[in-house]
Structures are given as structure tokens and as C-alpha cells.
């Protein structure tokens, strides 16, 4: 009987997973070195290569994604992000991609000729953004920044539903 009760409790916890600060804190323990780090951007020499994007100037949480200009799977994420940011809490955020590398034909085609994205794409050919912000170990990651550009969450909410739940929770907290 004791095992059935324990199993029932565990089943309820897993099926009714509700994000709270305790779960977020447990996840972020692995990222103590980067959480609350101030991100300095945009670097003046970074250019916005997305001709369709119009900044709204609103100070709100920001999702920062790092991609490579020669990474086809990274660039394919633009389409997924376009669909994703129109749902739920994600429309309460700014979304900024920093693209590392040169503006090559492949990148140019997918950003300006093929895509009509509602987010900023900054080109960083020299990698200075990563160096200046100490993000080199975190290439190809997504970060949630508060209104003061401090990292509050790390991970890709599109690729991982649990991370998405954490982002939802944090965006709610930051939007209050």
C-alpha cells in the first residue's frame, strides 16, 4: 500500500508539473557562472542585417539567441522562432539573434530574401560580442535577459518543453 501511495504522489507530481522558483533555481545551479551576468549590447559595430525588422524601443525582457552564419540548422531556427514568438508569453519579449561570422550568400538569402522575421538579427563577423560578454563557452545557446539585460535563464525553449516552461514562468515574473 505504501508503494502505491508513493507511486501516486510521484505520478501526480510529474503529470501536474507546475513551474515555481524552486525548480528554476535547481536548473540554474549548473549555470551559476553566467546567471545575473550583464550583457552589453548592441556593440556599435554590429549591424542589423534583417531589413524587415523595426525596433519598437520598448524596454522588456529579451530572448538572445547565438547562431553561426554558416550553420544551416541554426538559420533554419529562424522560421521556428518566428512561429514561436507569436504564441503565449513570448510576444511579451524582444527577440535578438547575434549571428557570428561573415554575411555570406547563404545567410543573406535566408535572412533577407527568404525570410520576413519579426526579430532583430545582429551580424558579428569578428566575434567581439561573444568575447566582450564572456559568452564564448555558450555558442549556439539561447538566453532570457531581464529588462536590464541581465541573464536570468539559459537554454533553448523551442528544443526543450521544460525550458519553455521555465521561460514562461520567468517572463511572467519579469513582466509584472
The domain in which residue 35 lies consists of 21-174
Identify whether 126 is part of a domain: yes
According to the model, what pLDDT value does residue 146 have? 92
Residue 160 CB neighbour total at 10 angstroms:
13
According to the model, what pLDDT value does residue 54 have? 54
Identify whether 73 is part of a domain: yes
Identify whether 16 is part of a domain: no
Identify whether 94 is part of a domain: yes
Identify whether 6 is part of a domain: no
According to the model, what pLDDT value does residue 32 have? 86
Q: What is the pLDDT along the chain (176 residues), one digit of tens a residue?
A: 444 433 333 333 444 445 677 878 888 888 888 889 999 876 655 667 666 555 556 678 889 999 888 888 888 788 888 888 887 778 888 888 888 888 888 888 888 766 678 888 888 888 888 888 988 887 778 999 998 899 999 999 988 898 998 898 899 888 87
According to the model, what pLDDT value does residue 11 have? 36
Identify whether 62 is part of a domain: yes
Identify whether 7 is part of a domain: no
Could you tell me if 122 and 41 are in contact, meaning their C-beta atoms sit under 8 angstroms apart? yes
Identify whether 13 is part of a domain: no
- Bridge partners, residue 142, by sequence: 65
Three-state secondary structure of the chain:
CHHHHHHHHHHHHHHCCCCCHHHHHHHHHHHCCCCCCECCCCCCCCEECCCCCCCCCCCCCEEEEEEECCCHHHHHHHHHHHHHCCCHHHHHCEEEEEEECCCCHHHHHHHHHCCCCCCEEEEECCCHHHHHHCCHHHCCCEEEECCCCEEEEECCCCCCHHHHHHHHHHHHHHCC
Q: What CATH number corresponds to the domain at position 89?
A: 3.40.30.10
Domains: count for the chain: 1
According to the model, what pLDDT value does residue 9 have? 37
Amino acid at each position: 500500500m505504501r508503494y502505491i501511495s508513493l507511486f501516486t504522489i510521484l505520478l501526480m507530481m510529474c503529470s501536474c508539473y507546475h513551474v515555481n522558483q524552486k525548480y528554476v533555481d535547481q536548473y540554474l545551479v549548473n549555470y551559476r557562472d553566467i546567471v545575473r551576468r550583464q550583457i552589453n549590447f548592441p556593440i556599435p559595430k554590429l549591424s542589423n542585417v534583417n531589413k524587415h525588422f523595426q525596433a519598437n524601443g520598448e524596454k522588456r525582457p529579451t530572448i538572445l539567441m547565438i547562431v553561426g552564419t554558416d550553420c544551416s540548422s541554426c538559420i533554419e531556427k529562424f522560421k521556428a522562432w518566428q512561429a514561436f514568438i507569436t504564441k503565449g508569453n513570448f510576444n511579451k519579449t524582444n527577440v535578438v539573434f547575434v549571428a557570428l561570422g561573415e554575411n555570406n550568400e547563404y545567410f543573406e538569402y535566408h535572412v533577407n530574401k527568404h525570410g520576413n522575421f519579426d526579430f532583430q538579427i545582429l551580424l558579428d563577423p569578428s566575434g567581439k560580442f561573444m568575447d566582450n560578454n564572456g559568452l564564448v563557452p555558450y555558442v549556439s545557446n539561447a538566453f532570457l535577459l531581464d529588462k536590464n539585460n541581465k541573464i536570468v535563464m539559459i537554454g533553448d525553449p523551442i528544443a526543450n518543453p521544460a525550458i519553455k516552461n521555465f521561460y514562461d514562468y520567468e517572463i511572467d515574473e519579469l513582466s509584472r
